[in-house]
């Protein structure tokens, strides 16, 4: 059977949502229609795709093997819609941007607002994830990344470097004191990762005992960590430029936790002559460069001067 994209879209929605009713709501379809799509797909491939469980519909092994291909189809369909949303040489249509959670929430909003004022006929989609989305599969048009892209079909521009360090709220330090050594630090309330140890993976050879058990608050969402830092929960790492906006956040100088990451702005080479994409790419390059090069106040506590004697 030659099934259309709608059947695979329905299949992917059920995998993601775990039920026919939830998937039908997402796709604005009736539940019977969605059920017919799944039944037709099962007939076409000659295998069961879902089994019922107490928590809903569970994908079979056959279904799990189909998921990457369905996701690739979904990415292509979305890219096609964006490409069809405006002519290549016009400032109208849709552009999809991907960035990390912290960059998307804390850095990009004023840049995107300024872009909208200049180009009111360009719609912006923002996908926030700490995983690098695949520009070759057109999961996004523009990406902001902290690692240098290696694929040859991508246009990449290094914008600058972002500095990360440890911080704590003044209120927390007033209650618990300021750690002076690494031994002091590990006895404090620390904010850190839950399951994804990528931010500290490179520190494993430093001798610093950074494990999940060290953290009193655990989350893989960088913005959740920043929110707890601002609330005075404990000590955590974040962007120096972002922390500098809050005079109550004090920088704690511990060398193993001082990091410099490159910031790359990336797009597929086929999109360099698509005007709406190029306009946003150049606008973000200018805005990110200004953000990274601008001065920031150092809020580290001042150590008392040594006696001359």
Q: Are 162 and 238 in contact (CB under 8 A)?
A: no
Per-domain boundaries in the chain: 5-73, 84-161+261-293, 162-260
SS3 236: strand
Per-residue pLDDT, 6: 87
The reported pTM is: 0.68
Q: Which phi and psi angles does 193 have, rounded to 5°?
A: -75, 165
- Short-list 95, 156, 105, 165, CA closest to 130: 105
Contacts of 215 (CB under 8 A, 6+ apart): 190, 191, 192, 193
52: tokens are 């019922």
Per-residue pLDDT, 2: 67
SS3 138: coil
90-140 per-position pLDDT tens digit: 788 889 999 999 999 999 999 999 999 999 999 999 988 877 655 556 678
Contacts of 151 (CB under 8 A, 6+ apart): 135, 136
How far is residue 178's CA from residue 188's CA, in Å, rounded to a whole number? 9
What is the topology classification, in CATH, of domain 84-161+261-293? D-Maltodextrin-Binding Protein; domain 2 (3.40.190)
Per-residue pLDDT, 135: 56
CATH of domain 5-73: 1.10.10.10
Ranges of the chain with pLDDT below 50 = 295-309
Strands 142-145 and 154-169, by their bridges, are unpaired
129: tokens are 């994830």
Question: DSSP state, 205?
Answer: T
Contacts of 255 (CB under 8 A, 6+ apart): none
Per-residue pLDDT, 155: 86
173-194 per-position pLDDT tens digit: 999 999 998 889 989 999 998 8
84-161+261-293 shares the fold of 5-73: no
Per-residue pLDDT, 269: 83
Per-residue pLDDT, 309: 32
State how far Cα 134 lies from the chain centre. Answer: 13
Per-residue pLDDT, 236: 94
Per-residue pLDDT, 137: 63
Can you identify the CATH homologous superfamily of domain 162-260? Periplasmic binding protein-like II (3.40.190.10)
């Amino acid at each position: 059977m030659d099934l259309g994209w709608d059947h695979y879209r329905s299949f992917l929605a059920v995998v993601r949502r775990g039920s026919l009713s939830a998937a039908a709501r997402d796709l604005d379809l009736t539940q019977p229609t969605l059920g017919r799509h799944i039944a037709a797909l099962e007939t076409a491939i000659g295998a069961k795709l879902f089994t019922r469980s107490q928590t809903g519909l569970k994908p079979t092994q056959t279904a799990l093997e189909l998921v990457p291909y369905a996701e690739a189809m979904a990415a292509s369909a979305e890219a096609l819609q964006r490409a069809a949303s405006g002519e290549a040489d016009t400032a109208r249509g849709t552009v999809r941007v991907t960035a990390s959670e912290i960059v998307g929430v804390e850095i990009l909003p004023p840049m995107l607002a300024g872009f909208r004022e200049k180009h009111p006929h360009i719609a912006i989609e923002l996908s926030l994830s700490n995983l690098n989305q695949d520009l070759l599969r057109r999961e996004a048009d523009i990406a902001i990344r902290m690692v240098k892209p290696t694929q040859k079909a991508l246009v990449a521009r290094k914008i600058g470097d972002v500095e990360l360090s440890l911080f704590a709220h003044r209120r927390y330090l007033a209650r618990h004191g300021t750690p002076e050594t690494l031994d002091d630090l590990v006895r404090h309330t620390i904010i850190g990762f839950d399951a994804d140890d990528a931010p500290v993976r490179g520190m494993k050879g430093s001798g610093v005992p950074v494990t999940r058990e060290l953290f009193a608050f655990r989350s893989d969402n960088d913005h959740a960590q920043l929110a707890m830092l601002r609330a005075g929960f404990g000590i955590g790492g974040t962007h120096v430029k972002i922390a500098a906006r809050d005079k109550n956040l004090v920088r704690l100088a511990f060398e193993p936790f001082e990091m410099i990451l490159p910031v790359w702005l990336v797009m597929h080479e086929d999109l360099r002559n698509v005007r709406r994409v190029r306009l946003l790419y150049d606008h973000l390059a200018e805005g990110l460069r200004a953000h990274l090069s601008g001065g920031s106040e150092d809020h580290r506590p001042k150590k008392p001067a040594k006696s001359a004697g």
